Homo-oligomer: A and B are copies of this chain.
Amino acid sequence: MKQAAAIRHALEELERMPGVGPKSAQRILHWLLTSDDSSAQRLAEAILEVKEAIHLCPRCHNYAQEDLCEVCGDAERDLGCICVVAEPRDIDAIERTGAYRGLYHVLGGVINPMEGVMPDDLNIADLIARLGAEDVREVLLATNPDVEGETTASYLARTIKPLGLTVTRLASGLPVGGELEYADEVTLARSIESRRTL
């Protein structure tokens, strides 16, 4: 198949984005070529701008545009609690709940021996350093409730508890609004084990 060089090149670059396959790249290309000039311009500028403006927060490894990230730079946060997450996007999910007012620490991944990710590859050493330097009373482990997330949480709990801090973990159980009938067995078993007294 013959295609103009600029089109081939654009499709190649669009397909490099995660979650964008050949069909999606075609649709995006069609949108770029048929929408007004400013759409392509604005998209390209936003991509360059975010890459230029954003670095990792030196304190918690969240994305930051100022010296510190928006959370670390917020004087209203509870400095006594650090919530440990795998990636910056997990911070967005937790912030959307409005249920947490402490600080964060981004690990930059989870322990995954199958893919060669060991504790030394994550931001764990400087989490321990923060716990010594800052006035922290609680560490909330908020990695995903999957195999790698649980492994990482167990490792961190074993490492942090000897420091005399309270270590907590996100609760697992039935999704709010969900139905018993459709819950998987593991989730249902977990919600029974973790049953609350009313």
Enumerate chain A interface residues (CB-CB to B < 8 A): 1-7, 9-10, 12-14, 16-20, 24, 26-33, 37, 39-54, 63-66, 69-71, 74, 87-89, 92, 95-96
Contact = CB atoms under 8 A, between A and B. Distances in A.
Contacts of A69: 4
B2 A74 contact: yes
Nearest to A5: B65
Contact of A4 (B18, B63, B87, B89): B63
A23 to B, nearest CB: 9
Copies of this protein in the complex:
2
B41 A48 contact: yes
A18 B39 CA distance: 12
Contacts of A18: 24, 27-28, 30-31
B6 A32 contact: no
A63 B6 CA distance: 10
B12 A46 contact: yes
- Per CB-CB distance, the 6 closest pairs between chain A and chain B, nearest first, are A4-B65, A10-B50, A13-B46, A6-B53, A40-B51, A44-B44
Contacts of A95: 1-2
A68 to B, nearest CB: 11
Contact of A47 (B16, B40, B52, B53): B40
A64 to B, nearest CB: 7
A153 B166 CA distance: 70
A20 B20 CA distance: 9
Nearest to A39: B16
A6 B54 contact: yes
A117 to B, nearest CB: 14
